Structure 1
């Protein structure tokens, strides 16, 4: 359905939830995904076939044994080691949804694989739900107001807000689960000692992709929710969108926390030391479809529209990054030939969930050579 059609329906008094319930398709749990032909979707069939062939021909070049791929990919990091579970991966796989229906698929879409930093977009959603539930009052609150265990003590760390953790510009300093903030993704040039002892950036001013700091966000949200985040994700999101029972969200082996007298695992926001979300292509597609529909699934509001809008606003330090979603704005990570309204989750090894509201499209790719994703999306956009 076009955005013009949606606007017309809003004018006559229907809410977004009513529109989606009446006009869109939502796949039921465990049912065969309803398909749509390229003719029905008004997509160039030859162009679509070329897109799928391109995805199959450009498999991620790293080892299918992800323990090997991880150690090779992050070998420059001092002290880097595998701290959580890993899993050998499958081959290229993906799904393209048009109006919620299955336009194309390739590979084993039910296979559960690691999805690395795609996990971050699930993690940020846990923050959004906490804000919707008023467990967090404001994203600009200092996180120290919610944790008193020393994680945000000191002049520097005490300034850090939820927004800064979500936008990866917090510059948090410290050690969590054995990971040192300065040792995570050091610059490729210069001396590591200079990096280790450099003065910290002012929170909110510079984006630094850093899994230790992402895991600090996860740890902080665990304390806010007072229950394991996989349980929150299952109850608040995945069960409601009909996801399978096969996905798992892991933490590092020693990442245990006692809350209310109970031992709970603090999960990670990625997999570059192992752990993170292990999930199928189909469950990733359902999650993407929820965001395409502005947080509504089959007439039920699951995530507030206000949160989703916050999540996809460009941060001041990086126009291509919101609340752990990448944005296709004009900037260093812009995909030429693809609309600026497109946003996406991205993970090591070529894992992506891509949301294209203009074309009512959700795209999931697994194990596509990361440098090829822009070309892949440009080909798909041209086919549309």
Structure 2
């Protein structure tokens, strides 16, 4: 009897402790966000301010006219064109959250700006929701079993699974919205014929950052949901976490399709050719906070914890890449001296959402010189 009482007591204490930890997290309501001094978390305010000043001083060196920055950044790609909207960017901006509270901020955090490949982490979340809702049975299902048009025709493309698309290891071959897979970030050697008639890699074996293939994933998910992906994001993620009404997700002028008799735009996974997610810093921080808390906002599970685990796990083709989230594992993108459990979304021009689930930290920074991100994050962690 004494043993039973002891077990009940331990279970009660465990539940109480778990509840207490959960209650420490703060989830801001729409239009409101509480702030706390870093000192309330034993964080050195002076050192944290040094990190903030560093982010403000290390502004992205590219043009503030992002149309020009895109054209210059991808001038080595044959046939590259701007197909979607662009927007002039603002000055550096950012937020640092601890337990959900804002402990530091800089710049115009309400300004809506392009966010480029950070969009990919939002896109992969739409895939996670499709799995949670049983629209896709498994990430290892072949995509052609779901998309029956010519998107996955051919012996090679028929081997591609959802996992391969999410980990950018599909080597999908084809053309979409006027963009050819081989023309997106081509090798620095060879010429067009070499790129067009290359040997295709076995799906899942080689990582290659490629926006045409990301857009194939977006198009495929549009067919699965039969509804514009921005509406899915709004209804299932952004509205429940109190996101603003100002964010927009665009595709290209020519990326319209008819589904169920309704014209819908297939959105892009980044701003490589314009388009992608246009969003403010605070909305990014809400999204990061959701992932920091394993897909739960307050007491509501918006996306499964299992998906968060899978999305932030190293892929076979790249130890630093999961389901469109970058990981701070050992590898070519490892940030030395920083925790290996960190994961982050990253986009052209120095846009980042960094998530630390163990210390309940979310860092959002906009327009930071990209090669300064690890030094910036190191300065933040030096303040703890």
With the length of structure 2 as denominator, give the TM-score of the two structures.
0.95
TM-aligned CA deviation for residue 19 of structure 1: 5.7
Partner of 1:3: none
Partner of 1:332: 332
Q: Name which of 13, 17, 29 aligns with 2:15.
A: 13
Q: Deviations over 1:176-195 (max 9, x none)?
A: 00010000001223334322
**1:9, CA displacement in angstroms?**
9.2
Residues 267-301 of structure 1 show CA distances to partners (whole Å, capped at 9, x for unaligned) of 00000100000000000000000000100001100
Task: List aligned pairs for 1:74-113, cutoff 5 A.
Answer: 74-113=74-113
Structure 2 unaligned residues grouped into runs of 5+: 1-9
Q: Distance in 1 between matches of 2:238 and 2:20?
A: 22
Distance 1:20 1:222, change over 3 A: farther
Superposed, 1:141-180 pairs within 5 Å as 141-180=141-180
Counterpart in the other structure of 2:183 = 183
* Match in the other structure for 1:25: 26
Query: Counterparts of 2:289 and 2:120 in 1: how far apart (Å)?
Result: 17
- 1:100-125 CA-to-partner distances (Å, cap 9, x unmatched) read 00000000000000000000000000
In structure 1, what is the Cα distance between the partners aligned to 2:17 and 2:57? 43
Distance 2:380 2:192 in 1: 42
Match of 2:295 in 1: 295
CA RMSD of aligned residues (A): 1.5
What secondary structure is seen at the aligned counterpart in 1 of 2:288? helix
Q: Cα 1:30–1:315, aligned 2, differ >3 Å: closer, same or farther? A: same
Equivalents in 2 of 1:9, 1:155: separation in Å? 55
Contact 1:21–1:299 (Cα < 8 Å) also in 2? no
Task: Name 2:202's counterpart in structure 1.
Answer: 202
Following superposition, the deviation at residue 21 of structure 1 comes to 5.2
Aligned length: 375
Give the drift of 1:12.
Answer: 1.5
Provide the secondary structure at the position in 1 that maps to 2:15: coil
Unaligned runs of 5+ in 1: 1-7
What corresponds to 1:283 in structure 2?
A: 283
Instruction: Check 1:226–1:59 CA distance in 2 against 1; reply closer, same or farther (3 A cut).
Output: same
Q: Which residue of 1 aligns with 2:72?
A: 72
- Inter-CA distance 301–19: structure 2 relative to 1 (3 Å threshold): farther
Structure 1 residue aligned with 2:135? 135
Show the counterpart of 2:3.
none
TM-score, normalization: structure 1?
0.95
1:200/1:23 CA distance change after superposition, 3 Å: same
Instruction: Tell me: CA distance 1:142–1:90, structure 2 relative to 1, closer, same or farther (3 Å).
Output: same
Residues 142-194 of structure 1, C-alpha deviations (whole Å, 9 max, x = no match): 00010101101110000000000000000000000001000000122333432
Superposed displacement of residue 75, structure 1: 0.2
